[in-house]
């Protein structure tokens, strides 16, 4: 890494962050389109969850991580407090790895 690269990544990332906010302000979106924009955010976040839970690089993440995420998901669905969801997910994965599950 060098300074020009770091500053280019920083400036580019900031521009990407601002672009959506500016677009949102400039363009009046009808209610139906607004719903699709909202669904777009849902789509991205669910895609993030799926890839972060199951993949590492271009391959499968191993069983420990998805198992932890599944326990966390089940806890969240059962309305367990958010803090516990986070702890249960990490704890399950950590315990499985301790037992030698990849």
Ranges within 37-56 binding another protein (CB under 8 A): 37-55
Separation between Cα atoms, residue 21 and residue 36, nearest integer Å? 16
User: Least distance in Å: CB of 28 to another protein?
Assistant: 12
| Subset of residues 3 to 42 that bind another protein, contact rule: CB under 8 A | 3-10, 12-14, 16-25, 35-42
The token duo for 87 is 């702890």
Q: How far, in Å, CA of 92 to CA of 18, rounded?
A: 38
Rounded to whole angstroms, how far apart are CA atoms 87 and 45? 21
The reply on whether position 101 binds another protein by CB under 8 A is no
**Which residues inside 61-100 make contact with another protein, applying CB under 8 A?**
61, 64-69, 71-73, 75-77, 82-83, 85-95, 97-98
């Amino acid at each position: 890494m060098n300074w020009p690269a770091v500053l280019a990544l920083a400036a580019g990332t900031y521009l990407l962050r601002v672009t959506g906010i500016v677009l949102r302000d400039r363009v009046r979106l009808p209610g139906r389109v607004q719903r699709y924009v909202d669904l777009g955010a849902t789509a991205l976040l669910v895609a993030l969850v799926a890839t972060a839970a199951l993949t590492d690089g271009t391959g499968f993440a191993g069983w420990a991580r998805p198992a932890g995420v599944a326990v966390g998901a089940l806890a969240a669905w059962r309305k367990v407090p958010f803090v516990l969801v986070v702890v249960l997910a990490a704890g399950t994965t950590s315990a499985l790895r301790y037992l030698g599950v990849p």
